[in-house]
């Protein structure tokens, strides 16, 4: 199967804190028949500054990302609903009525979150498989509500046994800088989520955003929990599980 050439944007968190998710994303995209290109020089989409309200800084970071991607063509694939939403939805707002407006629109319209790209665009037959796994899936908010992702991950995980997770569409309390600015509130929301994950009986937690997952995994570790945490790309890559 010959797939398209894609530009991989791994996000700053994957690059620095979870490179295994980036490697799994490459594996999965190649298995789906894609040619993967990765531009050195990519860093951060600018969401941290944007969410704090520091728009000058957000525009600098976003402008850097736009310039980098604008010389390429084809789909831009991001293993994060949150960063993909930043690029598809908020770049337009950031650069409205500026000379980058069209560039933001041009690049933004090429951006796809990984599961969205695999299922909606490629119609891939790839499915995660895992013997003895009972998976709880955490729908991250920005993918769920900004990008309207839901069924994509369910399709990719359809051959895995899924646990019933109460409130699987409720926020985990991460919230970006919120997690550091208001840590007690963030952690209280997280703990309610972790209680539910533990109550679901799952032995593996899967999600589409490293940001929420590192927050949840960090919390599970404090509880000495045995529940493993994986990005959906890792679940699909399989041999990394």
Q: For other proteins, which is the closer residue by CB, 118 or 217? A: 217
Question: Residue 192, interface with other proteins (CB under 8 A)?
Answer: yes
Task: Please check whether residue 76 is in contact with residue 111, taking contact to mean a CB–CB distance below 8 angstroms.
Answer: yes
Question: Residue 148, interface with other proteins (CB under 8 A)?
Answer: no
Q: State the minimum distance, in angstroms, from the CB of residue 61 to other proteins.
A: 6
Residue 147 is encoded by which pair of tokens? 């990008």
Q: For other proteins, which is the closer residue by CB, 173 or 207? A: 173
Question: Residue 145, interface with other proteins (CB under 8 A)?
Answer: yes
Task: Please check whether residue 128 is in contact with residue 33, taking contact to mean a CB–CB distance below 8 angstroms.
Answer: no
Residue 99 is encoded by which pair of tokens? 């000379």
Number of residues that bind other proteins (CB under 8 A): 62
Among 189, 202, 205, 206, the residue binding other proteins under the rule CB under 8 A is: 189
Q: State the minimum distance, in angstroms, from the CB of residue 70 to other proteins.
A: 16
Q: For other proteins, which is the closer residue by CB, 64 or 127? A: 64
Q: For other proteins, which is the closer residue by CB, 82 or 124? A: 82
Q: State the minimum distance, in angstroms, from the CB of residue 138 to other proteins.
A: 12
Question: Of 232, 235, 231, 195, nearest to 213 (Cα)?
Answer: 231
Among 6, 7, 12, 124, the residue binding other proteins under the rule CB under 8 A is: 12
Q: State the minimum distance, in angstroms, from the CB of residue 170 to other proteins.
A: 6
**Measured between alpha carbons, how far is 195 from 156 in angstroms, rounded to an integer?**
25
Among 3, 55, 203, 225, the residue binding other proteins under the rule CB under 8 A is: 55
**Measured between alpha carbons, how far is 18 from 211 in angstroms, rounded to an integer?**
10
CB neighbours of 135 closer than 8 A, spacing ≥ 6? Answer: 157, 160, 161, 162, 163, 202, 204, 205, 206, 235
User: ∠ CA 110-62-29 to the nearest 5 degrees?
Assistant: 40
**Measured between alpha carbons, how far is 65 from 73 in angstroms, rounded to an integer?**
14
Task: Please check whether residue 6 is in contact with residue 37, taking contact to mean a CB–CB distance below 8 angstroms.
Answer: yes
Residue 102 is encoded by which pair of tokens? 């069209």
Binding string, 97-136, against other proteins, x = CB under 8 A? ----------------------------------------
Among 6, 10, 29, 133, the residue binding other proteins under the rule CB under 8 A is: 10
Residue 160 is encoded by which pair of tokens? 């895995």
**What is the binding site for other proteins (CB under 8 A)?**
10, 12, 14-19, 22-23, 26, 38, 40-44, 48-55, 57, 60-61, 64, 93, 141-142, 145-146, 170-171, 173-190, 192, 214-215, 217-219, 221-222
């Amino acid at each position: 199967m010959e797939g398209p050439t894609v530009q991989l944007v791994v996000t700053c968190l994957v690059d620095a804190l979870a490179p295994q998710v980036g490697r799994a994303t490459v594996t999965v995209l190649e298995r789906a028949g894609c040619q993967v290109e990765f531009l050195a020089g990519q860093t951060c989409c600018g969401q941290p500054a944007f969410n704090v309200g520091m728009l000058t800084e957000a525009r600098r970071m976003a402008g850097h990302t736009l310039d980098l991607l604008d010389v390429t063509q084809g789909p831009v694939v991001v293993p994060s609903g949150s960063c993909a939403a930043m690029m598809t939805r908020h770049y337009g707002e950031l650069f409205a009525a500026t000379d980058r407006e069209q560039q933001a629109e041009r690049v933004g319209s090429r951006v796809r979150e990984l599961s969205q790209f695999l299922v909606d665009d490629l119609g891939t037959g790839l499915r995660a498989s895992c013997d003895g796994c009972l998976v709880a899936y955490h729908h991250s908010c920005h993918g769920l509500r900004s990008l309207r992702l839901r069924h994509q991950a369910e399709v990719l995980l359809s051959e895995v046994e899924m646990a019933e997770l109460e409130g699987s569409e409720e926020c985990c309390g991460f919230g970006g800088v919120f997690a550091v600015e208001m840590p007690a509130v963030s952690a209280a929301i997280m703990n309610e989520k972790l209680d539910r994950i533990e109550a679901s009986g799952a032995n593996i937690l899967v999600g589409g955003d490293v940001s929420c997952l590192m927050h949840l995994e960090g919390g599970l570790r404090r509880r000495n929990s045995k529940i493993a945490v994986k990005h959906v790309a890792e679940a699909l890559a399989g041999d990394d599980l």
